[in-house]
Structure 1
């Protein structure tokens, strides 16, 4: 290998990601800004309209949308100017969250492009919402999965379930291959 060449990026195995996510954990609050104008929070944050107003939240992504989960929806925010995007995801390793990665990343990107502030939440703000934020950072900000996880972990403890981590690994491998093919 020539000195000016970088080694080819490899998506880490899930066990290495879990180690990264579990090391040096410290208390985090109900809501944290994890990227400029992008917040991860829990259900209590999403349901506290005065807090959302104080934070300047303009867009909400509910990663646990629906009557069986957290049934806020656009009607809950009708007395505000908040724009809503719901993803009806179950926090179980067998749920395929990956079909929602691009549409949610597009929603977040559109909001941030308009100088908005986005809250992405689920029940506890640890697994589903974190997975969607990591996917956004990978798709729109062109971060690797490790870079995205490290960026978010600087501000909030997250721990996507193992199924979601595997889906993020697949996305990471796909995006790395796409970047490699676009360069050559």
Structure 2
């Protein structure tokens, strides 16, 4: 098929994305490398500095930052060389996580360009952290939402809440339109 004949990419509906996410699930651990040098993990992983050092983690993104969530912060890592980026986000379908997509993608991208290793975590490493990793793959690695979901799902079971999935769909449509007009 020539590029002119290829059908235009369409962001799938949320129900199709949920079906994809729920298909062929298998157990995953507390932390998984989901992209070269990019890990998704849970709160216990983020709080285990020995494990982080052993994994070679140089950067941490806490998608559940703040006193009401997982209150690590830069002070928690002060006795390490780990650089920290916090996003104070509840795992709630009504919370708008999209304002944090670009700044977090920039932080991850910069870390990986410096040959760093990044852990992105929330409480369980399923929804908030996965959403931010998917946004990174879409923004910086030019992946469609479906491609990003499939890449991460090869290594970890994830399940962003429905509100976050809808926000990723909006990002996916925006990026697809941007690619068509460039």
Query: For the superposition of Structure 1 and Structure 2, which TM-score range results when normalised by the shorter chain?
Result: over 0.9
What is the deviation of 1:6? 1.2
Is the partner of 1:88 in helix, strand or coil? coil
What is the deviation of 1:48? 0.1
* TM-score (normalizing by structure 1): 0.97
Instruction: Tell me, in whole angstroms, the C-alpha distance in 1 between the residues paired with 2:54 and 2:70.
Output: 22
Partner of 1:151: 151
Instruction: Tell me, in whole angstroms, the C-alpha distance in 1 between the residues paired with 2:78 and 2:95.
Output: 30
State how many pairs are aligned.
Answer: 180
Moved over 2 A (4+): none
| Structure 1 residues 25-48: Cα deviation after superposition (integer angstroms, max 9, x where no partner) | 000000000000000000000000
Matches within 5 A, 1:1-184: 3-4=1-2, 5-182=5-182
Instruction: Tell me, in whole angstroms, the C-alpha distance in 1 between the residues paired with 2:77 and 2:166.
Output: 33
* TM-score (normalizing by structure 2): 0.98
What is the deviation of 1:16? 0.2
RMSD: 0.4
Instruction: Tell me, in whole angstroms, the C-alpha distance in 2 between the residues paired with 1:10 and 1:119.
Output: 31
**5+ unaligned residues in a row in structure 1: which ranges?**
none
What is the deviation of 1:169? 0.1
**5+ unaligned residues in a row in structure 2: which ranges?**
none
